[in-house]
């Protein structure tokens, strides 16, 4: 099993425990938000992905089912500008 697979399972286990308490850890920014402020993706009763409204608001989250599971890609809507004047 790959490290990525182990990480995913560890995250999913923790996220499901959190979800029972009404919060969930965003897979992208790792911050906990209320379930009502989080977009969650479940597959066969197992949580596979969660992204808070903040991250979902600035990213296009694309889901595509594959043989191995659901592939999730998040792409920033706008480029990040570095070094610009404030």
Which residues lie near Zn ion (CB under 5 A)? 26, 28-29, 52, 55
Min separation Cβ 24 and Zn ion, Å: 10
- For Zn ion, the closer of residues 69 and 74 by Cβ is 74
Closest CA to 60 of 48, 74, 50: 74
- DSSP 8-state secondary structure symbol assigned to residue 78: S
- For Zn ion, the closer of residues 28 and 84 by Cβ is 28
Strand 69-76 versus strand 32-34 pairing type = unpaired
- For Zn ion, the closer of residues 32 and 69 by Cβ is 32
């Amino acid at each position: 099993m790959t490290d990525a697979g182990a990480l995913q399972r560890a995250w999913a286990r923790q996220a499901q425990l959190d979800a029972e308490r009404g919060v969930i850890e965003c897979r992208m920014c790792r911050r906990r938000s209320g379930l009502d402020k989080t977009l969650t993706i479940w597959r066969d009763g197992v949580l596979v992905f969660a992204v808070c409204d903040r991250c979902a608001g600035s990213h296009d989250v694309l889901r595509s089912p594959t043989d191995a599971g659901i592939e999730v890609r998040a792409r920033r809507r706008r480029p990040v500008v570095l070094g610009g004047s404030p």
